[in-house]
């Protein structure tokens, strides 16, 4: 094999991995290789069809041409790797009894600021993009827009949104770099792993119509959330400054819960009007949004309500 052939073979193999089974029976370079099978992908499709009962039969012709969409293997690999790294890293922090950092090194501080600024701007771009695309494709309602296979701008935005969910794994890395295990909660890990699967499913099957609603609302909320984290990174550990600049965290959590309520509303609408969105997606959205609402409700009570209750009890005593 010449070096040019070898290079082409390698590039095709990477492409085949990123795109899963679509490329499995293709000729790789000048050398026909045995078709790779995608048993994990097949199993996931079986599960989605028969257990979750979402109809995955007509993949979107635009998004499935893009990396990491046509098979669930790449997204599942990223999630497994993510969970493994988080598990090992947090075990290391615990076993070596490292305390959360009081003051971040300059490089880490800059990384956190750039990361949050980037996600704040990207979220703003996507929120505005979804609204503009919805108007461009003539969506008449907030919910209940008919799904059309080819809406390239909308499809690409949903794809960007899905990929951004994978990039958000960096949030956990930031928590661990700062040795801040307090933040690496079940809620955080549950949210980061499941949201990327949910958006892979949507990106594969229905990257348009009412998908725009949850993506636009979530992007809007993320503008505020990453702005909050950006401020937190700039303010640093000073408690007085935190109280002054981050007092609105509570209202942000409330907005996140309102967001999940709006998704529950959308899901109920989709369940009763299945002509707009493929069967099963409403049910999936309903169960998923309820789980997030429960997690955030619990977070809200623990973070914002318990301390006050303790104070009252102490006063009464």
Residues with a catalytic annotation lie at 191
Q: Which of 77, 180, 298, 309 binds ligand MLC (CB under 6 A)?
A: 180
Site mask for ligand MLC (CB under 6 A), range 280-309, x = bound: -------------------x----------
Residue 171 CB, shortest distance to ligand MLC, in Å, is: 4
Q: Show the binding pattern over residues 207-246: x = contacts ligand MLC (CB under 6 A), - = does not.
A: -----------x--x---x--xx--xx---x--------x
Complex with ligand MLC: residue 274 or 307, whichever CB lies closer? 307
Q: Which of 63, 253, 266, 289 binds ligand MLC (CB under 6 A)?
A: 253
Measured CA to CA in angstroms, residue 58 lies from 91, 202, 279, 298 at distances of 43, 12, 12, 38
Q: Which stretch binds ligand MLC (CB under 6 A): 47-55, 73-81, 202-210, 250-258?
A: 250-258
If one asks whether residue 183 binds ligand MLC (CB under 6 A), the answer comes out as: yes
Residue among 31 and 241 whose Cβ is closer to ligand MLC: 241
3-state secondary structure 6-72: HHHHHHHHHHHHHHHHHHCCCCECCECCCCCCCHHHHHHHHHHHHHHCCCCCCCCCCHHHCCCCCCC
How big is the site for ligand MLC, counted in residues (CB under 6 A)? Answer: 26
Q: Which residues bind ligand MLC (CB under 6 A)?
A: 112, 115-116, 171, 174-175, 180, 183, 187-188, 191, 218, 221, 225, 228-229, 232-233, 237, 246, 249, 252-253, 256, 259, 299
């Amino acid at each position: 094999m010449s070096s040019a052939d070898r290079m082409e073979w390698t590039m095709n193999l990477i492409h085949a991995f990123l795109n899963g089974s679509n490329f499995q029976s293709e000729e790789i370079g000048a050398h026909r290789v045995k078709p790779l099978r995608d048993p994990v992908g097949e199993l996931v499709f079986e599960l989605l069809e028969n257990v979750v009962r979402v109809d995955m039969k007509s993949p979107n012709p635009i998004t499935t041409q893009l990396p990491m969409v046509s098979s669930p293997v790449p997204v599942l690999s990223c999630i497994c790797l993510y969970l493994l790294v988080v598990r090992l890293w947090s075990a290391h922090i615990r076993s070596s009894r490292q305390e959360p950092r009081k003051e971040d090194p300059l490089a880490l501080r800059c990384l956190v600021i750039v990361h949050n600024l980037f996600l704040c701007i990207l979220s703003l771009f996507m929120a505005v993009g979804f609204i503009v695309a919805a108007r461009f494709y003539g969506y008449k309602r907030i919910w209940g827009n008919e799904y059309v296979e080819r809406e390239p701008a909308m499809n690409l935005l949903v794809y960007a949104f899905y990929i951004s969910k994978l990039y958000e794994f960096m949030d956990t890395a930031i928590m661990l770099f700062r040795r801040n295990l307090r933040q690496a909660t079940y809620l955080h890990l549950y949210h980061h792993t499941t949201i990327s699967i949910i958006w892979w499913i949507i990106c594969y099957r229905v990257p348009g119509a009412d998908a725009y609603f949850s993506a636009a609302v979530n992007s809007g909320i993320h503008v505020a959330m990453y702005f909050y984290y950006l401020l937190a990174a700039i303010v640093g550990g000073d408690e007085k400054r935190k109280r002054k600049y981050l007092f609105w965290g509570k209202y942000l959590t409330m907005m996140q819960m309102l967001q999940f309520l709006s998704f529950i509303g959308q899901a109920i609408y989709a369940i009763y009007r299945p002509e707009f969105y493929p069967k099963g997606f409403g049910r999936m959205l309903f169960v998923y949004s309820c789980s997030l609402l429960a997690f955030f409700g619990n977070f809200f009570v623990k973070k914002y309500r318990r301390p006050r209750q303790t104070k009252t009890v102490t006063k009464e005593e």
